[in-house]
């Protein structure tokens, strides 16, 4: 039992989140912030809100442009003569660009900072939307989708890195929940708006509107988005260790925990006293184009693959997140193809409006996988003597093993038997709930387990996710022809159920797995010069 309380032998992810020995329960800040006012963890709430609002705006429009294409499939088939196979191929190439782009961009995020990659990503998507608005031949379709995927690739990784830069462990799931809301709003509500645009202005104009909004986003990121990469070395001193020693001038600070009282029973940590001798950066320093560190790019190209096969938490996240997004790709593709024909005969507006249902589900799934997840770990940590284990997040993942397959079956069997569209919408809504909830829980679990290598870990996760989607979209048409709509969805539901039960062995053996892989994790973390000393 004493060993369990010895912080020196705790595995990665295990932290003291509450000090239960104080007169009031106190949440301990983790990661431990420095005394530097330029440390993103010490930024004011307004600075954090502005930065994360810009990030959310970036995510929103990225997922709009990635997911609106299928609403124009009908008009594009009529005007350009594109076959269903070439349209599916375009979607698959888009996912291929997402897979390749994340491998290329993530090392640059580590080496040169977050800001230049955000700017380049927005600029690339801006250009891809212009090309998509000017699509006339198969080559235009495939080429613009490839550039679109490459440009949007970093959105699913750099946001998690930004959250780790700005926020503490007890805030991760809430912020991931906001990310998921921005993602699902783009993915689900974007097609609703684009459906109306296709009917009212023509399908090319849905891309021109994206060009306009990406132009606005680009200007906002250039002039307002601050670099959140923090190098915890200042003038030869490790400012994190300084903070641990100095604390508040009048009273030594224990474990970096400085409190902002919210109630008589709960105290929430937000910021720490900063060293007045350290000057805050000027506006132009905050808006520097690059923040370079002396680290090699090469390890970040192969470490994502190493993490996939070394750390069970990364493998779990890759399989769960990847498969769930693949089922979403299947459902949106089949919806766009089969709801245009009898018995539904939907136009672009009808196809787009079907996405309201999963968005409503996602709105409900957002607090379940976000705020409720953060609250649950505080309660479970208190019952565990104030010590937090990342596996505590996985209890809320278990109900999703029922909700997601039910949604898939309602949608798929309804489509197979020509059921009323409302039944399909309810099933799509259940799936939207599952997508939002499991995404927030999975990403927060992974971030809490391996925060110092979260960038490389997420590259592996997103690479596998997009490979899954590329495969299912390339084989979808012959798969439906061979198995039929009903049997395909039954198989998908069974696979989804089994994958969503992976938290059960992790709840039993997850901590032991983190202990066994701790040396490998610490070696990888030590090689990242921008990692925070903790």
The answer on pLDDT for 139 being more than 80 is: yes
Average pLDDT over residues 59-65: 95
Q: What is the pLDDT of residue 303?
A: 87
Residue of 219 and 27 predicted with greater confidence: 219
| Neighbour count for residue 116 (Cβ, 10 Å) | 18
Q: Structurally, how many domains does the chain consist of? A: 2
Q: Distance between CA 200 and CA 190 in Å, rounded?
A: 15
pLDDT interval class at 489 (50, 70, 90) = very high
Q: Are residues 500 and 403 in the same domain?
A: yes
Average pLDDT over residues 492-518: 96
The answer on pLDDT for 268 being more than 50 is: no
Q: Are residues 417 and 515 in the same domain?
A: yes
Tens of pLDDT, residue by residue over 192-248, are 999 999 999 999 999 999 999 999 999 999 999 999 998 765 443 444 444 333 333
291: preceding bond cis by omega (within 30 degrees): no
The answer to the question of residue 6 being in a domain is no
Q: Are residues 299 and 162 in the same domain?
A: no
Q: Are residues 300 and 174 in the same domain?
A: no
Looking at 231, 247, 267, the residue that finishes a domain is 231
Residue of 169 and 416 predicted with greater confidence: 416
The answer to the question of residue 372 being in a domain is yes
Average pLDDT over residues 12-21: 70
The answer to the question of residue 247 being in a domain is no
Burial class (CB in 10 A: 0-12, 13-18, 19+), 338: middle
Measured over the CA atoms of residue 471, residue 308, residue 435 and residue 49, the dihedral's sign is negative
Q: What is the pLDDT of residue 460?
A: 87
Q: What is the pLDDT of residue 60?
A: 96
Write the CA distances from 42 to 183, 274, 304, 412, integer angstroms: 27, 8, 29, 48
Measured over the CA atoms of residue 330, residue 459, residue 377 and residue 176, the dihedral's sign is negative
Tens of pLDDT, residue by residue over 276-291, are 888 888 999 999 999 9
Looking at 179, 211, 231, the residue that finishes a domain is 231
Q: What is the pLDDT of residue 432?
A: 93
Q: What's the mean per-residue pLDDT of the chain?
A: 85
Looking at 231, 253, 271, the residue that finishes a domain is 231
Residue of 153 and 245 predicted with greater confidence: 153
Tens of pLDDT, residue by residue over 332-381, are 889 888 998 899 999 889 988 999 999 999 999 988 988 898 889 889 98
The answer on pLDDT for 3 being more than 80 is: no
Q: What is the pLDDT of residue 529?
A: 52
Of the candidates 360, 357, 441, the one whose C-alpha atom is nearest the C-alpha of residue 399 is 441
Q: Distance between CA 262 and CA 270 in Å, rounded?
A: 11
The answer to the question of residue 153 being in a domain is yes
Q: Distance between CA 460 and CA 301 in Å, rounded?
A: 10
Q: What is the pLDDT of residue 172?
A: 80
Q: Are residues 188 and 55 in the same domain?
A: yes
Q: Are residues 418 and 516 in the same domain?
A: yes
Element (H, E) at 243: helix 239-246
The answer on pLDDT for 20 being more than 60 is: no
Tens of pLDDT, residue by residue over 373-421, are 888 988 998 899 889 999 999 999 999 999 999 999 999 999 999 999 9
pTM of the model: 0.78
The answer on pLDDT for 322 being more than 90 is: no
Q: What domain range includes position 338? A: 294-533
The answer on pLDDT for 93 being more than 90 is: yes
The answer to the question of residue 526 being in a domain is yes
Of the candidates 329, 324, 322, 328, the one whose C-alpha atom is nearest the C-alpha of residue 461 is 322
Q: Are residues 480 and 343 in the same domain?
A: yes
Q: Are residues 86 and 198 in the same domain?
A: yes
Q: What is the crossing angle of helices 312-338 and 400-417, to 10°?
A: 20
Average pLDDT over residues 421-432: 96
The answer to the question of residue 4 being in a domain is no
Q: What is the pLDDT of residue 435?
A: 92
Q: Are residues 348 and 443 in the same domain?
A: yes
The answer on pLDDT for 514 being more than 50 is: yes
Q: What is the pLDDT of residue 264?
A: 30
Where are the extended beta strands (E) located within 433-480? none
pLDDT interval class at 438 (50, 70, 90) = very high
**In sequence order, which ranges of 277-311 are alpha helices (DSSP H)?**
283-286, 299-310
Question: What letters, b where the CB count within 10 A reaches 16 and e where it falls short, cover 362-374?
Answer: bbebbbbbbebbb
| Neighbour count for residue 244 (Cβ, 10 Å) | 20
Average pLDDT over residues 305-316: 93
Q: Are residues 80 and 209 in the same domain?
A: yes
Q: Are residues 315 and 203 in the same domain?
A: no
Q: Are residues 435 and 523 in the same domain?
A: yes
Between the two ends of the chain, the Cα-to-Cα distance in Å is 24
Q: What is the CATH number of the domain that holds 318?
A: 1.20.1250.20
The answer to the question of residue 272 being in a domain is no
Residue of 172 and 306 predicted with greater confidence: 306
pLDDT interval class at 53 (50, 70, 90) = very high
pLDDT interval class at 260 (50, 70, 90) = very low
């Amino acid at each position: 039992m004493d060993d369990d309380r010895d912080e020196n032998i705790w595995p990665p992810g295990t932290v003291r989140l509450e000090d239960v020995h104080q007169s009031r329960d106190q949440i301990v800040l983790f990661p431990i912030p420095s005394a530097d006012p330029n440390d993103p963890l010490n930024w004011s709430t307004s600075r954090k809100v502005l930065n994360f609002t810009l990030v959310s705006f970036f995510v929103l429009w990225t997922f709009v442009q990635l997911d609106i294409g299928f609403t124009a499939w009908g008009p594009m088939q009529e005007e350009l003569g594109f076959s269903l196979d070439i349209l599916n191929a375009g979607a698959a190439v888009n996912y291929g660009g997402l897979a390749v782009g994340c491998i290329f961009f993530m090392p640059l995020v580590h080496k040169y900072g977050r800001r230049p990659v955000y700017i380049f990503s927005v600029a690339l998507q801006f250009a891809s939307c212009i090309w998509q608005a000017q699509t006339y031949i198969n080559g235009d379709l495939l080429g613009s989708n490839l550039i679109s995927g490459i440009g949007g690739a970093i959105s699913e990784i750099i946001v998690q890195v930004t959250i780790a830069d700005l926020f503490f462990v007890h805030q991760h799931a809430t912020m991931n929940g906001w990310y998921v809301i921005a993602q699902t709003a783009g993915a689900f509500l974007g097609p609703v708006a684009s459906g109306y645009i296709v009917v009212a202005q023509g399908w090319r104009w849905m891309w021109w509107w994206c060009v306009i909004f990406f132009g606005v986003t680009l200007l906002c990121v250039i002039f307002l988005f601050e670099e959140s990469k923090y190098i915890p070395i200042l003038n030869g001193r490790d400012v994190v260790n300084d903070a641990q020693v100095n604390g508040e001038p009048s009273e030594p600070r224990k474990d970096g925990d400085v409190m902002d009282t919210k109630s008589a029973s709960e105290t929430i940590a937000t910021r720490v006293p900063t060293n007045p001798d350290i000057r805050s950066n000027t506006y132009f320093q905050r808006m520097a184009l690059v923040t370079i560190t002396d680290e090699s790019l090469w390890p970040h190209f192969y470490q994502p693959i190493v993490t996939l096969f070394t750390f069970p938490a990364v493998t779990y996240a890759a399989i769960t997140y990847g498969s769930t997004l693949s089922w979403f790709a299947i459902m949106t593709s089949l919806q766009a193809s089969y709801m245009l024909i009898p018995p539904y005969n939907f136009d672009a507006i009808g196809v787009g409006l079907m996405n309201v249902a999963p968005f409503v589900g996602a709105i409900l799934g957002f607090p379940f996988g976000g705020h409720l997840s953060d609250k649950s770990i505080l309660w479970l940590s208190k019952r565990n003597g104030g010590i937090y284990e990342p596996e505590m997040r996985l209890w809320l993942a278990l109900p999703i093993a029922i909700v997601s397959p039910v949604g898939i079956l309602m949608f798929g069997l309804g489509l197979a038997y020509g059921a009323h569209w409302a039944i399909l919408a309810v099933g799509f809504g259940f799936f939207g709930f599952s997508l939002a909830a499991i995404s927030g829980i999975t990403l927060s679990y992974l971030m809490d387990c391996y925060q110092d290598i979260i960038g490389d870990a997420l590259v592996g996760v997103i690479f596998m996710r997009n490979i899954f989607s590329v495969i299912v979209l390339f084989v979808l048409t012959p798969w439906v022809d061979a198995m039929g709509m009903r049997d395909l969805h039954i198989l998908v539901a069974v696979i989804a159920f089994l994958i969503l039960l992976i938290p059960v062995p992790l709840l039993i053996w997850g901590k032991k797995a983190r202990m066994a892989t701790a040396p490998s994790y610490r070696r990888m973390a030590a090689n990242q010069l921008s990692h925070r000393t903790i």
